[in-house]
Structure 1
Amino acid sequence: IDLSTLPDDQRDAIVALVREVAALRETTQRQEHLIAELDHALYGKKSEKLSEDDRQLAFEDLEVAIAEGEEKKKQAAPTDDKPKRKKIAKRNRGNLPEGLPRIEQVIEPDSLDCPCGCGLMHRIGEDRNERLDIIPAQLRVIVTVRPKYACRICTDGVTQAPTPPWLIEGGLPTEGAIAHVLVSKYADHLPLYRLSQILARSGIDIHRSTLADWVGVAAFHLRPVVDRLAEHLKTSTKLFMDETTAPVLDPGRGKTKTGFLWALARDDRSWGGDDPPGVVYFYAPGRHGENAETFLTGFNGILQIDGYPGYNRLTKPSRTGGDPIVVAYCWAHARRKLKEVFDRDGS
């Protein structure tokens, strides 16, 4: 089509449509690629499936692409002087807790003079909008000053307040800094070398090995708390236990080996129990039943488990560390076996 023969308004409309079609085609291709990756991750070969974290990242990429396309469409839409009622998007924006501090920014009109010239306008209401603001973590230095005092008349000595107890005597971190490292590593799964890089952006040069020393010291001092929690849980009448694999560094081999984390938990909230929920984790290099027997020393109640036969030794009179316990098997695992029979026999 020779656009030069068309009127200006028609030519501009065609050019705008061509650009819009090209933009939509690009967005569609990108979304189709992301959907194909998700489909492959969810339904592809078992060895090629993504982990849960990778799947979440893929979903995030898809949501980012959709949001980018919506914003591009909104910015490209023609505007006019007539105010339009905004359509509320059906998405989960999250909620802002009442306990968060509110900083109000009042925006007044440039002029309060009435257009008709009869005086100043009076305030009749207001519109309020709340947005979430994030202040990056702030680093600070705690300076502990211990003044020295002496008598000007006699020479009997100098008095000074003693140094307060610190978790790492003479060390650099405060207890709050150590707690931040622990939460970052174990709750947020942030490797220490990445945390070292994050601190470096603020001008703090702390090597990963130093952070590892802090974690080791904290682990030593927290061990009595973990032991006491385990003792408290094992006084319950019923508990839940399960184990899962965990990659563990194997120095000298250049790769990791498989270890096991054992979770011992109590949660009676679903039926209105009085005991508060709690969980404690144990580590063992293997999945042998002897490990469960060791971890459950002193427990004599009901243990809810899956179908792993390693727990069977806990039900025998020869059990060490307590009386034979009663096991309650998980119904979800039992259903799997029934489903296997149904899929095989059709009944």
Structure 2
Amino acid sequence: MSEVDAPLPDDLATCHELIRQQAATIREAQRRIEQLEHQVGQLLRRQYGPRSERLNPDQLRLFADDTAEEDAGSQPAEPVPEERGTPARTWRRRGRQSLPEHLPRERIVLELSEPERDCPDCGRIRMPFGEEVSEQLEFVPASLFVRQFVRLKYACGSCQEHVAIAAKPPQPIEKGLPGPGLLAQVITSKYGEHLPLYRQEDILARHGVTLSRATLCGWMARAAELLRPLYAVMIERVRASKVIWTDDTTVPVWDPTLPATRTGRFWVYLGGARNPFCVYDFTHRRTRDGPERFLSDFRGYLQADAFTGYDRICAGPDVIRVACWAHVRRKFYECRTTAPILAHEALARIRRLYRIETDCREMPAEERQAIRQRDAVPILAAFGAWLDEQSRQVLPKSPLGQAIAYARNQWPDLQTYTRDGELSIDNNLAERSLRAQAIGRKNYLFVGSDRGGRTAATLYSFAGSCKRLGADPFAYLREVLERLPTHPAARLAELLPDAWFAAHPDARRKAAS
């Protein structure tokens, strides 16, 4: 006899208990189904779907009870960025843009032939009275050239003795082939434009010069060694900042002793406005040793994610942790399909916090702090009470329960940003600074060793700092690599990206509009 055909018990109490047990089993099965659907949906979205976390604004208006007072006293509605507090994009009228005035012009005058200049009525020659100019953008390939250092030899004309020769100026790579311009181009192409060395090898071959990728890789290592003292000064400046933003990302590392690559880590550390550098570090695994070593002398605010490796750094009073609201928002965004009403209510509350940040983004730090205390602190208090209430009603292991637990576990650190106007509501500044590594590893696939990872971290630091400042990394690296061999060690700060850019304001990076 099958289980379906088995007779039901006659005892009423037993039937009630059976119903209770089956109801509990159904609830557990439903919870498990929701979890699996949630996981499958996330995997499908990561594999095939868009990464944007945008929502329909109409859904957030369902929670008018909490936002009515704010909306009634605010300015007319305008597009508000839905994700991570990024500024709304302003769309320009598309069409052909006028070509920049600084580009050189080659004037090509088109004239009528002698027969075409004859007037068809009177037969006289037609004379020019004006011109019509149309422009076409053209390209001249970059060119390589050889710089010869000719050192004249001198000797005494009488005794034919005492031969002397002019000294050769110090080079970025002593007795090496590349000049500072070629080194700067290779560094900028790989670490600023994500162009692997094997592709640069083909580009150089197209210009008639055969250089192997192994040679280019050796140049990168030597250039990093030359720049390392300047890199150390940048690290000290970042450590002296009041606020440091940090995050990490993975990178495959080739290991000949293993059948596959192992996973290394790039860490980014960004200083405040007075130390606007973007410094990278490399570690062979994700442990607390890397951040603890880098931040050993730091005192101030540390804006980071919930990685437990920062716990011991922030255990004392010297380093204050600032949690990231973008991570909290992402947790609620991911469970909007399994618990749409409560998840969207949480997203609506977080949106109110980001709307405040959008309104005061351009204000001085003191005014921004005052606005946060006035407007954001009451919203945070109401949100905290809402999280406490929902935590008692939602299953802890459900997606929504885990999102609520994630927010409540970091709740004190999530409120820290309201204490100082120089702090950010999220850690997106550090996350955006790791896009270079994310794009780069899709192109060069892996770093060749731990030493290669440290070389990449050093060179990424200069390319990333120039990008943050809006400076042209090629112009900066070309001059620094030329001056560094003879520059006094006590004056290295003069060659930092911010000091160099202040002295060369015309070296602004030309960004696409």
Aligned pair in 2 of structure 1 residues 92, 241: CA closer, same or farther (>3 Å)? Answer: farther
Which residue of 1 is the match for residue 282 of structure 2? 283
Q: Which amino acid aligns with 2:322?
A: A
Task: Give the fraction of aligned pairs with identical amino acids, expressed as a percent.
Answer: 39
1:17-69 residue CA offsets vs partner (Å, 9 max, x unmatched): xxxxxxxxxxxxxxxxxxxxxxxxxx9836754999xxxxxxxxxxxxxxxxx
Is residue 242–residue 272 contact of structure 2 (8 Å, CA) maintained in 1? Answer: no
My pick for the range that moved more, 138-147 or 186-195, is 186-195
Residue 253 (str. 1) matches residue 258 (str. 2):
yes
Which residue of 1 is the match for residue 294 of structure 2? 295
What are the residue-to-residue correspondences of 1:65-104 with 2, within 5 Å? 91=94, 96-104=99-107
Residue 162 (str. 1) matches residue 170 (str. 2):
no
Aligned pair in 2 of structure 1 residues 276, 92: CA closer, same or farther (>3 Å)? Answer: farther
Which residue of 2 is the match for residue 336 of structure 1? 330
Secondary structure class of the residue paired with 1:195: helix
Which has more helix, going by share of residues?
Answer: 2
Which residue of 2 is the match for residue 327 of structure 1? 321
Which residue of 2 is the match for residue 307 of structure 1? 306
Secondary structure class of the residue paired with 2:111: coil
Among 131, 138, 144, the residue aligned to 1:139: 144
Which residue of 2 is the match for residue 211 of structure 1? 216
Deviation at 1:173, TM superposition (A): 1.6
Which residue of 2 is the match for residue 346 of structure 1? 341
Which residue of 2 is the match for residue 109 of structure 1? 112
Is residue 301–residue 322 contact of structure 2 (8 Å, CA) maintained in 1? Answer: yes
What are the residue-to-residue correspondences of 1:266-277 with 2, within 5 Å? 266=271, 268=273, 275=274, 277=276
Secondary structure class of the residue paired with 2:253: strand
Distance 2:99 2:255 in 1: 45
Aligned pair in 2 of structure 1 residues 193, 301: CA closer, same or farther (>3 Å)? Answer: same
Aligned pair in 2 of structure 1 residues 169, 341: CA closer, same or farther (>3 Å)? Answer: closer
Structure 1: gaps of 5 or more residues: 1-42, 53-89, 269-274, 318-322
Aligned pair in 2 of structure 1 residues 218, 335: CA closer, same or farther (>3 Å)? Answer: same
Secondary structure class of the residue paired with 1:314: coil
Among 183, 198, 204, the residue aligned to 2:203: 198
Which has more strand, going by share of residues?
Answer: 1
The TM-score, its normalising length taken from structure 2, stands at 0.46
1:197-220 residue CA offsets vs partner (Å, 9 max, x unmatched): 322233322222222211111111
- Aligned length, in residue pairs: 258
Q: Give the alignment's Cα RMSD to 1 decimal.
A: 3.0
Q: Which amino acid aligns with 1:288?
A: T
Identify which of structures 1 and 2 has the higher relative contact order when contacts are C-alpha pairs closer than 8 Å and 6+ apart: 2
Distance 1:257 1:93 in 2: 48
Is residue 253–residue 263 contact of structure 2 (8 Å, CA) maintained in 1? Answer: yes
Deviation at 1:334, TM superposition (A): 1.9
Distance 2:50 2:219 in 1: 30
Deviation at 1:93, TM superposition (A): 5.0
Aligned pair in 2 of structure 1 residues 231, 276: CA closer, same or farther (>3 Å)? Answer: closer
Distance 2:108 2:148 in 1: 35
Secondary structure class of the residue paired with 1:315: coil
Distance 1:126 1:239 in 2: 59
Distance 1:217 1:265 in 2: 25
Distance 1:185 1:145 in 2: 32
Deviation at 1:104, TM superposition (A): 2.1
The TM-score, its normalising length taken from structure 1, stands at 0.65
Q: Which amino acid aligns with 1:243?
A: D
Distance 1:202 1:345 in 2: 58
Aligned pair in 2 of structure 1 residues 220, 50: CA closer, same or farther (>3 Å)? Answer: farther
Is residue 237–residue 275 contact of structure 2 (8 Å, CA) maintained in 1? Answer: no
Q: Which amino acid aligns with 2:227?
A: L
Which residue of 2 is the match for residue 11 of structure 1? none
Distance 1:201 1:50 in 2: 38
Which residue of 2 is the match for residue 265 of structure 1? 270
